[in-house]
Structure 1
């Protein structure tokens, strides 16, 4: 349990999860297929890294006020859900020469990057954890005078 709490408090856990989810999306999400020749365009491979960079910048700029564990869990859950949605969501099919457009691949990563930024702002606006001053600590060690 100590290793889990240490991982949740690490500022690198969230960027690692963001990039793992990005790799899953890039490799597992459906391609856009268009034209009579059914040309494949790997939208996830082309676009997800840009949103992962934005989310990583937000994550690395997040100050560690109080505990990072709730923020880390929020960001990790968000990006795992984004990867699952991008990989498993149905594609939109249009036209007589069916064009298949994976809308989840287009919409989910930018939304996740924006929500990551919002979570980071929320973490930044938390009040500082009050530190015990040296004078207060020294008063606790001295015996009470009568």
Structure 2
């Protein structure tokens, strides 16, 4: 008898959750599960890139890099907020992707501006979590609210 995971996430369940993410008529719980899987995959991919960069990037503390970090993060955050205002079924997917991009961008800038720049990593994580929560609410449709807590 083949082994099956005890948490009920086989290959079919993963694909079903990801496919439901693109279907606005799918149940909200399944769409939320697909969004969380998508976000976890992107975070794992970006984290896998950030770890070797931590060893390779030199320290380059410069005041203009701080300005670039804040302006770039603000731009990504505003672009994600604008994506959530659209009436598209892909708006939450785009917003989560931009949230992961925000985390990665602030992670790279934090590595460049270390030691004090490492404080940008939690800022990027909070921005990502905020956008993920807003995206979960957007899955419910217009006026869906922020969604339930974690």
The answer to whether the superposition gives a TM-score over 0.5 is: no
Q: Bigger relative contact order, structure 1 or 2, given CA contacts below 8 A and separation 6+?
A: 1
> Greater helix percent: which structure?
2
Could you tell me the TM-score, scaled by structure 2's length? Answer: 0.39
> Greater strand percent: which structure?
1
Could you tell me the TM-score, scaled by structure 1's length? Answer: 0.40
